[in-house]
Structure 1
């Protein structure tokens, strides 16, 4: 399977919202939208209102990452706004994981969970058959520009082994510091989707089309793809 790329839109230039989305619509496999509540993590970023406006100008799947303490409050808003995939951190919903995953699937959307660097792959075993995507954080959640945590790659390998052994269907995804310095070692893990943000994409050029071409060139050079 060829690598898939999901730009993290909290890193884009919001003053060029339409221009940058239009340029990436023919390139991106997903759009990654981080929603942070200022409680689960101390930062506050995008919102269901952002999803609603993004939906008006793209058919690219909108992939929402909830970094919130009460995902049950935000999931209905994301569904109404047009999100295609909704993922949350399992520790925020331990007593309601099945209910939330089934709520998303019953709405005809895809669901996932996000594993922090210290959360083991085995944590998903009881509900992995419901998942369409498992995201592994390779930095602590909440802020851009953090140092890559190489131990996270062991989790990717474990998730892929679990998927193949059990016939599960989820995509694996990595979130945090995906750029030319880490592309090669990440690719070796077999991960399906790379989330690219400031260092991997948006800082490479002022024009996002040029930045995307540089990102792809970096990936191919570093991975010999």
Structure 2
């Protein structure tokens, strides 16, 4: 089984050690996951285009900006200018503008990702999945770190994998929420290509980022073996 790409959730990192941790991650990650929240779509405020601009001064790995905002179209230009490589918008904010929003993101030279809340079904977004580089399935409710995993989402991951195969599509399947040693096996077996790791999967493993990363890798390798020989 192919090893998954890793996307550290930067809202979970120790921001007092930002440069140290970004330099450590930079040749190891598939993406940096940057959560941008507006206090309206979700009841929290986190990172921003300014944060992306500052990280871009250090990072070379691509930044994927997860827009948990009511008006995603307002962020496209600022994030492109800041250096984002991908914008992932929520399906729940795109009704009536999804195709226009996708075109706008691509016209700004970025890749396009789609994020689905746990309640949002595949058939609600099927008409534009062929335009996606990545689909992120939320396995917790959006807005806050450290929430419990929703096991019903494993079937949803399988549905997206099957749809991708049946329609010969290329989007990656990414998981956002409670990716850790308790869930790696099930997520990889269901079809996950990219794992967003935050507090429980990476940063709380150890205060030393080298050790924390090594523990995470061991946990993922064990999960891969369990899936392979199940």
TM-score interval (norm. to shorter): over 0.9
Q: Does the CA contact (< 8 Å) of 2:122 and 2:160 recur in 1?
A: yes
Report how far residue 102 of structure 1 moved. Answer: 0.7
Aligned counterpart, 1:68: 69
Write the mapping of 1:197-216 to structure 2, written as runs, cut at 5 A. 197-216=198-217
Aligned counterpart, 1:162: 163
TM-score, reference length from structure 1: 0.97
For 2:29 and 2:105, locate their aligned partners in 1 and report how far apart those are by CA, in whole Å: 23
For 2:123 and 2:160, locate their aligned partners in 1 and report how far apart those are by CA, in whole Å: 8
Report how far residue 140 of structure 1 moved. Answer: 0.1
Q: Does the CA contact (< 8 Å) of 2:92 and 2:116 recur in 1?
A: no
For 1:85 and 1:65, locate their aligned partners in 2 and report how far apart those are by CA, in whole Å: 9
Aligned counterpart, 2:177: 176
State whether structure 2 residue 189 is matched by structure 1 residue 191. Answer: no
Structure 1 runs not aligned, ≥5 long: none
Report how far residue 108 of structure 1 moved. Answer: 2.0
Aligned counterpart, 2:39: 38
For 1:110 and 1:118, locate their aligned partners in 2 and report how far apart those are by CA, in whole Å: 25
For 1:189 and 1:75, locate their aligned partners in 2 and report how far apart those are by CA, in whole Å: 32
For 1:199 and 1:90, locate their aligned partners in 2 and report how far apart those are by CA, in whole Å: 26
Report how far residue 27 of structure 1 moved. Answer: 1.2
Report how far residue 167 of structure 1 moved. Answer: 1.6
Aligned counterpart, 1:122: 123
Report how far residue 12 of structure 1 moved. Answer: 0.1
For 1:167 and 1:159, locate their aligned partners in 2 and report how far apart those are by CA, in whole Å: 12
Report how far residue 75 of structure 1 moved. Answer: 1.7
TM-score, reference length from structure 2: 0.95
Q: Does the CA contact (< 8 Å) of 2:33 and 2:63 recur in 1?
A: yes
2:125 partner SS: helix
For 1:163 and 1:182, locate their aligned partners in 2 and report how far apart those are by CA, in whole Å: 22
